[in-house]
Structure 1
């Protein structure tokens, strides 16, 4: 088997790609909003919480901001759906608690889990790259209705350990972390064309996921390979295809 036909490194987004954005915005966002103040006050010594609180103070330019002011900033970003790293970090901490307690169970489109398992069984290495923090990803994939999916994945990337999702250097950083010099062996699945463009600029293969009802559906995928289901994506050849 030539290098060109080795299994792919498959990198998946979450919102709008593996899972419904509406579930996250309607279930998880309110859950995190409810617990921001408690976590800041009771887990302030936790390294992730302390780092996030410090980052909020830096971003708003208020080094002495207390819990109330930090929560105000977090809720403003949440209202605007801004992908601020400290917001995502704190959401990850809070969601991990909710999943662990059984209050939360993650959502996946019906086509996703069987295909992820099939790709893994075929030898493809799977990764997650999301604006949601790594801790949130671990909680999300660790608590599906079908049990933990974490054994399927070889790594997790977010805006903190890889960088912003709309710029090519972030995808290059992921390739470097994976230790793969051949960019064309990566396949990135996302519903957002700006992210797909950045991945393609980095030399990756791309698949635009368009699911009816998702926020970015009407934007299309602007020339990227397009699918409405993971089940239609064929990774058996040198390049991904859609059946």
Structure 2
């Protein structure tokens, strides 16, 4: 195994269906009441106002959020608000995350062997931590060494992977990025990382490529 694994979430550690059939619908259903109840919170209001120009109240912010979700936009403010909503859902017991069967054992094996594992996802760092804290296998956050979201850069840009390698103190060649998206794998390889494509149930078809294809992370 490589000394460092950098793992995508959607379609890699977690079924795509959980994201699109559980997390996103939950956020959509809760956006209006969440913004109404927290509109006086300055941090939350600032994130809501950043969703679009001209927002003056929580109703307009809700409509902007839903429109961005419909477009599958990766806007940082949207991802942060989604993470806050999911946090409420996990804490109340309404949400329980999903991971593929081998993921927990992989993380335990790597940790016991002194190998590092990081997460890189378009979801906010908060959302990533929540997902791994509320799995059917329990809280797995102690098995992970760090989290990266799009604040470090887009997943399809090689510079993002250079920054991650620099931040965690490795030569890119010592790391492997696992993802279900060929474009992201190409960006990682351009930055010097090795990369692998996950073939999971429900993953989207990918263009022709020369990356290793894995059906599981172990």
Post-superposition shift, 1:13? 0.6
Q: In structure 1, what is the equivalent of residue 168 of structure 2?
A: 178
Q: How does 1:203-214 map to 2 (within 5 A)?
A: 203-214=192-203
Post-superposition shift, 1:50? 3.2
Mark the CA change 1:51 to 1:107 in structure 2 (over 3 Å): closer, same or farther.
Answer: same
Mark the CA change 1:45 to 1:149 in structure 2 (over 3 Å): closer, same or farther.
Answer: farther
CA–CA distance in structure 2, aligned partners of residues 152 and 200 of structure 1: 25
Post-superposition shift, 1:230? 1.1
8 Å contact from structure 1 (residues 175, 183) kept in 2: yes
8 Å contact from structure 2 (residues 39, 58) kept in 1: no
Q: How does 1:1-243 map to 2 (within 5 A)?
A: 8-46=3-41, 48-56=43-51, 60-62=52-54, 64-160=55-151, 162-180=152-170, 182-214=171-203, 216=204, 218-220=205-207, 222-231=209-218
Normalised by the length of structure 2, the TM-score is 0.93
CA–CA distance in structure 2, aligned partners of residues 175 and 43 of structure 1: 37
8 Å contact from structure 1 (residues 48, 90) kept in 2: no
**What secondary structure is seen at the aligned counterpart in 1 of 2:145?**
strand
Normalised by the length of structure 1, the TM-score is 0.84
What residue ranges of structure 2 are gaps of 5+ in the alignment?
none
Mark the CA change 1:202 to 1:45 in structure 2 (over 3 Å): closer, same or farther.
Answer: farther
What residue ranges of structure 1 are gaps of 5+ in the alignment?
232-243
Mark the CA change 1:168 to 1:42 in structure 2 (over 3 Å): closer, same or farther.
Answer: same
8 Å contact from structure 1 (residues 208, 221) kept in 2: no
CA–CA distance in structure 2, aligned partners of residues 171 and 74 of structure 1: 28
CA–CA distance in structure 2, aligned partners of residues 48 and 8 of structure 1: 38
CA–CA distance in structure 2, aligned partners of residues 230 and 47 of structure 1: 41
Deviations 1:4-34 (A, max 9, x none): x9x5111111010011111111111111111
